[in-house]
Amino acid sequence: MRMWAVTVCTLVLAAGTLHAQETDLELGKGFFLARCAVCHGPDGNSVQGVDLGRGKFRRALSDDDMVQIIKTGIPNTAMPPIDISTRKAKYIVAYLRSMASSPATSGQGNTVRGKALFEGKGGCLSCHRVKDKGSRVGPDLTDVGAIRRSFELERSLLEPNAEVLLENRFVHVVTGDGVAITGRLLNHDAFTVQLIDSKERLLSFQKSSLKEFAFLDESQMPSYRGKLSPEELADLISYLVSLKGIETQ
């Protein structure tokens, strides 16, 4: 993913006629998560009888049909019209088509056991946070189940370096007086850098005042391959998928 900006490969999509660059798929994913996932879920399977991620629809549809349904909705159903341009709807369709070719995830796990793993043996809270529990140094996972697909979660657990989102990058700095600090990057520009460090401090530095400033290419996330049994992995993923964010009360 880190090289997507220069990737020019074109995908022939499994079930459609749209051709999409991977950057288009990223856009489509963003629109899907923002406009569709609230009902369909990030895997596209939260509505009974519909599994967008597996190409399972209630109606046989061409790409153009899908664009039309996104824009106009389906009368007398829960599918509302979405106020979105045709161009953006096409991005969504391209992303839906690409989802069908994603690898299968582990079997259905036990969410309760997964939570115990997350908070216990897995040691996940030492870096991650869910609601008001855990560390803020790594990505907050309170709503990870609403924005990440199960196969993506599995991949992150087994191959953390396979995909590191831009917003989850870490940097290492050494201050002018020799203090070394590693933290998750929050922002940077030509002159300054902002990060959250291991003590959960929001820090900001002038780059000119630093002796060192470097991105860490490796993920700070350890691989759990071989550390968890397949059942434990499924339990953990099941728990992560269940994390949908806070609910309005």
Partner 1 sequence: MNTRGLGLVLLASFLWPLISWGQVSFDRILRADQEPQNWLTYSGTTLSHRHSLLNQITAANVKNLELQWIYQARSLEKFEATALVVDGVMYTVQAPNDVIALDAATGRVFWIFSHAPEPWTKPCCGHVNRGLAILGDTLFMATIDAHLIAIDAKNGRPLWDTTVADAKSGYALTLAPLVVKDKVIVGTAGGDYGIRGFIAAYDVHTGKESWRFYAIPEPGDPGGSTWGGDSWQEGGGPVWITGSYDPALNLSYWGTGNPSPDYDGDSRPGDNLYTDSVVALDPDTGKLKWYYQFTPHDEFDWDSTQVPVLADLEWPEKDGHQKQRKVILWANRNGLFYVLDRTTGQFLLGKPFVKVNWTNGIDEQGRPMRVPGKTPSSEGTVIYPGNRGGTSWYSPSYSPRTGLFYVSTWDSYSSVFFKFPVKPGEDPRGGHRSLIPDDRLLPQHFRKDEEGYGAVRAIDPKTGETKWEFKMADVTDAGILTTASDLLFSGGRDGYFFALDARNGALLWKVAVGGVLASGPMTYAVRGKQYVAVAAGNCLFTFALR
The one segment of 149-157, 158-166, 183-191, 232-240 that binds partner 1 by CB under 8 A: 183-191
CB of 163 to partner 1, least distance (A): 21
CB of 246 to partner 1, least distance (A): 5
User: Is residue 144 at the binding interface for partner 1, with CB under 8 A as the rule?
Assistant: no
Q: Which two tokens stand for residue 105?
A: 């995830």
User: Is residue 190 at the binding interface for partner 1, with CB under 8 A as the rule?
Assistant: no
Q: Using CA atoms, how far apart are residues 196 and 171, in angstroms rounded to an integer? A: 10
Contact 113, 121 (CB under 8 A): no
User: Is residue 201 at the binding interface for partner 1, with CB under 8 A as the rule?
Assistant: yes
Single out the residue of 200, 212, 217, 231 in contact with partner 1 (rule: CB under 8 A).
200
Contact 42, 105 (CB under 8 A): no
Q: Which two tokens stand for residue 117?
A: 């793993």
The amino acid at 58: R
User: Is residue 218 at the binding interface for partner 1, with CB under 8 A as the rule?
Assistant: no
The one segment of 65-73, 118-126, 131-139, 147-155 that binds partner 1 by CB under 8 A: 131-139
Site for partner 1 in 111-130 (CB under 8 A): 129
> What separation in angstroms does the CA of 117 have from each of 6, 130, 137?
39, 14, 19
Site for partner 1 in 10-69 (CB under 8 A): none
> How many chain residues are in contact with partner 1, going by CB under 8 A?
25
Among 59, 83, 55, 57, CA closest to 70: 83
CB of 194 to partner 1, least distance (A): 5
Contact 154, 162 (CB under 8 A): no
Q: Using CA atoms, how far apart are residues 148 and 242, in angstroms rounded to an integer? A: 11
Q: Which two tokens stand for residue 225?
A: 């391959």
Site residues (vs partner 1, CB under 8 A)? 129, 131-132, 136, 140, 142, 179, 186-187, 189, 192, 194, 196, 199-204, 206, 245-249
